[in-house]
Amino acid sequence: MLSYKSLLVFNKRLVFILLTLTASFNGECTVNVDKSRVIFSSGELTANISLHNSHKEPILVQLWTDAGDPLTTPDKVKTPVLVNPPVLKMQPNEVRNIRLLLVSTEDLPQNKESIFWLNILQIPPNTNQVSKEKNKLILPLRIRLKVFVRPKSVGDITSDDFDKILFSKVNSNTVIIKNPTKWYITIPSLRIADIKSKPIWLGPFSHISLHVKNEINEKESVTFDVIDDVGAIHRRVSVIN
Protein backbone atom coordinates (compact mmCIF):
# COMPACT_ATOMS: atom_id res chain seq x y z
CA MET A 1 0.00 0.00 0.00
CA LEU A 2 1.24 3.48 -0.84
CA SER A 3 2.27 5.30 2.32
CA TYR A 4 1.45 8.84 3.38
CA LYS A 5 5.13 9.68 3.48
CA SER A 6 5.74 8.69 -0.12
CA LEU A 7 3.03 11.12 -1.28
CA LEU A 8 3.86 13.98 1.06
CA VAL A 9 5.83 15.99 -1.48
CA PHE A 10 3.54 16.60 -4.42
CA ASN A 11 5.59 15.91 -7.55
CA LYS A 12 5.17 16.77 -11.22
CA ARG A 13 4.66 13.16 -12.23
CA LEU A 14 1.73 12.84 -9.83
CA VAL A 15 0.27 16.13 -11.11
CA PHE A 16 0.38 14.78 -14.66
CA ILE A 17 -1.28 11.53 -13.60
CA LEU A 18 -4.05 13.40 -11.78
CA LEU A 19 -4.73 15.75 -14.68
CA THR A 20 -4.76 12.81 -17.11
CA LEU A 21 -6.97 10.46 -15.12
CA THR A 22 -9.59 12.83 -13.75
CA ALA A 23 -11.21 12.92 -17.18
CA SER A 24 -11.61 9.12 -17.14
CA PHE A 25 -12.26 8.23 -13.52
CA ASN A 26 -14.52 9.42 -10.75
CA GLY A 27 -12.90 10.78 -7.61
CA GLU A 28 -14.12 11.28 -4.07
CA CYS A 29 -13.71 14.80 -2.76
CA THR A 30 -13.74 14.29 0.99
CA VAL A 31 -12.32 17.58 2.27
CA ASN A 32 -14.74 20.49 2.02
CA VAL A 33 -13.61 24.12 2.21
CA ASP A 34 -15.75 26.94 3.62
CA LYS A 35 -14.56 29.49 1.03
CA SER A 36 -14.18 29.64 -2.73
CA ARG A 37 -11.32 32.18 -2.48
CA VAL A 38 -9.04 33.78 0.11
CA ILE A 39 -8.59 37.56 0.34
CA PHE A 40 -5.97 39.59 2.19
CA SER A 41 -7.90 42.85 2.24
CA SER A 42 -6.54 46.38 2.75
CA GLY A 43 -3.21 45.45 4.29
CA GLU A 44 -4.33 42.42 6.33
CA LEU A 45 -1.54 39.96 7.15
CA THR A 46 -3.61 36.89 8.11
CA ALA A 47 -6.56 35.02 6.63
CA ASN A 48 -8.37 31.85 7.66
CA ILE A 49 -10.18 28.94 6.06
CA SER A 50 -11.94 25.92 7.56
CA LEU A 51 -11.58 22.34 6.33
CA HIS A 52 -14.07 19.56 6.99
CA ASN A 53 -13.27 15.87 6.50
CA SER A 54 -16.55 14.32 5.35
CA HIS A 55 -14.92 10.93 4.77
CA LYS A 56 -15.51 7.96 7.07
CA GLU A 57 -11.78 7.44 7.49
CA PRO A 58 -8.84 9.62 8.57
CA ILE A 59 -7.22 11.60 5.79
CA LEU A 60 -3.91 13.38 5.37
CA VAL A 61 -3.96 16.94 3.96
CA GLN A 62 -1.05 18.94 2.59
CA LEU A 63 -1.36 22.68 1.87
CA TRP A 64 0.90 25.12 0.03
CA THR A 65 0.69 28.19 -2.21
CA ASP A 66 2.05 28.81 -5.69
CA ALA A 67 2.32 31.80 -8.02
CA GLY A 68 0.22 30.34 -10.82
CA ASP A 69 2.08 27.25 -12.01
CA PRO A 70 0.08 24.15 -10.96
CA LEU A 71 3.15 21.95 -11.51
CA THR A 72 5.24 23.79 -8.92
CA THR A 73 6.05 21.40 -6.06
CA PRO A 74 5.86 22.51 -2.41
CA ASP A 75 9.63 22.23 -1.98
CA LYS A 76 10.24 24.58 -4.94
CA VAL A 77 7.52 27.15 -4.35
CA LYS A 78 8.33 30.79 -3.56
CA THR A 79 5.44 33.04 -2.55
CA PRO A 80 4.88 35.54 0.27
CA VAL A 81 1.91 33.51 1.52
CA LEU A 82 2.63 30.74 4.05
CA VAL A 83 0.18 28.13 5.34
CA ASN A 84 -0.06 26.96 8.95
CA PRO A 85 -0.16 24.03 9.42
CA PRO A 86 1.23 22.87 6.05
CA VAL A 87 0.42 19.21 6.78
CA LEU A 88 -2.28 17.76 9.00
CA LYS A 89 -4.14 14.54 9.65
CA MET A 90 -7.91 14.88 9.91
CA GLN A 91 -10.20 12.44 11.65
CA PRO A 92 -13.63 11.54 10.23
CA ASN A 93 -16.04 14.50 10.40
CA GLU A 94 -13.33 16.71 11.91
CA VAL A 95 -13.23 20.46 11.24
CA ARG A 96 -9.87 22.24 11.28
CA ASN A 97 -9.01 25.90 10.97
CA ILE A 98 -6.10 26.82 8.69
CA ARG A 99 -4.26 30.13 8.85
CA LEU A 100 -2.61 31.83 5.90
CA LEU A 101 0.14 34.33 6.66
CA LEU A 102 1.25 37.15 4.37
CA VAL A 103 4.89 37.45 5.38
CA SER A 104 6.08 40.07 2.89
CA THR A 105 4.58 42.62 0.51
CA GLU A 106 7.76 44.43 -0.55
CA ASP A 107 7.89 42.84 -4.01
CA LEU A 108 4.15 43.17 -4.70
CA PRO A 109 2.62 46.01 -6.73
CA GLN A 110 0.89 48.63 -4.60
CA ASN A 111 -1.49 49.98 -7.27
CA LYS A 112 -3.37 46.73 -7.93
CA GLU A 113 -4.17 43.41 -6.31
CA SER A 114 -1.91 40.37 -6.71
CA ILE A 115 -2.95 36.75 -7.02
CA PHE A 116 -1.56 33.44 -5.74
CA TRP A 117 -3.06 29.96 -5.47
CA LEU A 118 -3.72 27.80 -2.42
CA ASN A 119 -3.32 24.06 -3.03
CA ILE A 120 -5.17 21.61 -0.81
CA LEU A 121 -4.01 18.05 -1.45
CA GLN A 122 -6.06 15.31 0.21
CA ILE A 123 -4.54 11.86 0.51
CA PRO A 124 -6.99 9.10 1.54
CA PRO A 125 -5.54 6.01 3.26
CA ASN A 126 -6.55 3.77 0.33
CA THR A 127 -4.98 5.98 -2.34
CA ASN A 128 -3.63 3.21 -4.56
CA GLN A 129 -6.56 0.84 -4.21
CA VAL A 130 -9.08 0.37 -6.96
CA SER A 131 -12.64 0.66 -5.71
CA LYS A 132 -15.06 -2.25 -6.07
CA GLU A 133 -17.22 0.06 -8.11
CA LYS A 134 -16.49 -0.36 -11.82
CA ASN A 135 -14.34 2.28 -13.51
CA LYS A 136 -13.60 4.05 -10.26
CA LEU A 137 -10.10 4.78 -8.98
CA ILE A 138 -9.27 6.35 -5.63
CA LEU A 139 -6.61 9.01 -6.17
CA PRO A 140 -5.10 11.86 -4.19
CA LEU A 141 -7.23 14.89 -5.04
CA ARG A 142 -6.23 18.53 -5.11
CA ILE A 143 -8.30 21.69 -4.73
CA ARG A 144 -6.86 25.05 -5.87
CA LEU A 145 -8.26 28.31 -4.49
CA LYS A 146 -7.40 31.82 -5.61
CA VAL A 147 -5.61 33.95 -3.01
CA PHE A 148 -5.91 37.71 -3.57
CA VAL A 149 -3.61 40.24 -1.89
CA ARG A 150 -4.91 43.82 -1.81
CA PRO A 151 -2.71 46.69 -0.62
CA LYS A 152 -4.27 49.44 1.48
CA SER A 153 -4.26 51.78 -1.51
CA VAL A 154 -6.39 49.32 -3.51
CA GLY A 155 -9.16 48.44 -1.07
CA ASP A 156 -12.05 46.10 -1.83
CA ILE A 157 -13.95 45.83 -5.08
CA THR A 158 -17.60 46.93 -5.12
CA SER A 159 -20.52 46.03 -7.37
CA ASP A 160 -20.19 49.45 -9.04
CA ASP A 161 -16.74 48.46 -10.28
CA PHE A 162 -18.29 45.69 -12.37
CA ASP A 163 -19.95 48.36 -14.50
CA LYS A 164 -16.53 49.69 -15.53
CA ILE A 165 -15.83 46.72 -17.83
CA LEU A 166 -15.64 48.09 -21.39
CA PHE A 167 -16.51 46.48 -24.72
CA SER A 168 -15.12 47.96 -27.95
CA LYS A 169 -15.62 46.78 -31.52
CA VAL A 170 -12.42 46.21 -33.51
CA ASN A 171 -14.00 44.74 -36.64
CA SER A 172 -17.14 42.82 -37.56
CA ASN A 173 -15.99 39.70 -35.72
CA THR A 174 -13.76 40.99 -32.90
CA VAL A 175 -14.46 42.76 -29.61
CA ILE A 176 -11.91 44.07 -27.12
CA ILE A 177 -12.91 43.52 -23.47
CA LYS A 178 -11.08 45.90 -21.11
CA ASN A 179 -10.72 45.80 -17.36
CA PRO A 180 -9.64 49.30 -16.24
CA THR A 181 -9.95 48.42 -12.53
CA LYS A 182 -7.36 47.45 -9.90
CA TRP A 183 -8.88 43.99 -9.38
CA TYR A 184 -9.05 40.62 -11.09
CA ILE A 185 -12.43 40.12 -12.74
CA THR A 186 -13.97 36.69 -13.33
CA ILE A 187 -16.73 36.55 -15.97
CA PRO A 188 -18.19 33.01 -15.99
CA SER A 189 -20.79 33.84 -18.64
CA LEU A 190 -20.96 36.43 -21.42
CA ARG A 191 -23.44 36.80 -24.25
CA ILE A 192 -23.33 39.17 -27.23
CA ALA A 193 -26.65 39.01 -29.10
CA ASP A 194 -27.10 35.25 -29.53
CA ILE A 195 -23.41 34.43 -29.14
CA LYS A 196 -22.27 32.90 -25.86
CA SER A 197 -18.61 33.12 -24.85
CA LYS A 198 -16.48 30.81 -22.74
CA PRO A 199 -15.61 32.00 -19.21
CA ILE A 200 -13.25 35.00 -19.16
CA TRP A 201 -10.68 36.06 -16.58
CA LEU A 202 -9.25 39.58 -16.70
CA GLY A 203 -6.29 40.86 -14.73
CA PRO A 204 -6.09 44.45 -13.44
CA PHE A 205 -5.59 47.05 -16.19
CA SER A 206 -5.71 44.33 -18.86
CA HIS A 207 -7.73 43.46 -21.94
CA ILE A 208 -8.43 40.50 -24.20
CA SER A 209 -9.71 40.07 -27.75
CA LEU A 210 -12.89 38.06 -28.22
CA HIS A 211 -13.44 36.60 -31.69
CA VAL A 212 -16.93 35.45 -32.72
CA LYS A 213 -18.37 33.83 -35.85
CA ASN A 214 -21.30 36.13 -36.42
CA GLU A 215 -21.04 39.78 -37.37
CA ILE A 216 -21.10 42.23 -34.48
CA ASN A 217 -22.85 45.58 -34.70
CA GLU A 218 -21.98 48.73 -32.80
CA LYS A 219 -24.24 49.38 -29.81
CA GLU A 220 -24.83 45.63 -29.67
CA SER A 221 -26.09 44.55 -26.26
CA VAL A 222 -23.76 42.57 -24.00
CA THR A 223 -25.01 40.56 -21.02
CA PHE A 224 -22.39 39.19 -18.64
CA ASP A 225 -22.03 37.76 -15.14
CA VAL A 226 -19.32 38.68 -12.63
CA ILE A 227 -18.29 36.77 -9.49
CA ASP A 228 -17.77 38.84 -6.34
CA ASP A 229 -15.61 38.28 -3.24
CA VAL A 230 -17.99 35.78 -1.64
CA GLY A 231 -18.62 33.81 -4.84
CA ALA A 232 -22.00 35.39 -5.62
CA ILE A 233 -22.86 36.13 -9.25
CA HIS A 234 -23.88 39.61 -10.41
CA ARG A 235 -25.48 40.13 -13.83
CA ARG A 236 -24.59 43.21 -15.82
CA VAL A 237 -25.76 44.63 -19.17
CA SER A 238 -23.57 46.84 -21.37
CA VAL A 239 -23.18 47.84 -25.01
CA ILE A 240 -20.39 47.61 -27.56
CA ASN A 241 -18.89 50.98 -28.50
Radius of gyration of the CA atoms of the chain, in A? 21
In this prediction the pTM is: 0.82
CATH code assigned at 229:
2.60.40.10
What pLDDT does residue 2 have?
A: 35
| Cα–Cα distance, 117 to 70 (Å, whole number) | 9
The pLDDT tens digits for 155-213 are 999 999 999 999 999 998 899 999 999 999 999 999 997 788 899 999 999 999 999 88
What pLDDT does residue 214 have?
A: 81
CB contact at 8 A, 47 and 145: no
Three-class secondary structure of residue 126 per DSSP: coil
Do 143 and 53 sit in the same domain of this protein? yes
Domain membership flag for residue 126: yes
Do 92 and 190 sit in the same domain of this protein? no
Position with higher pLDDT, 138 vs 156? 156
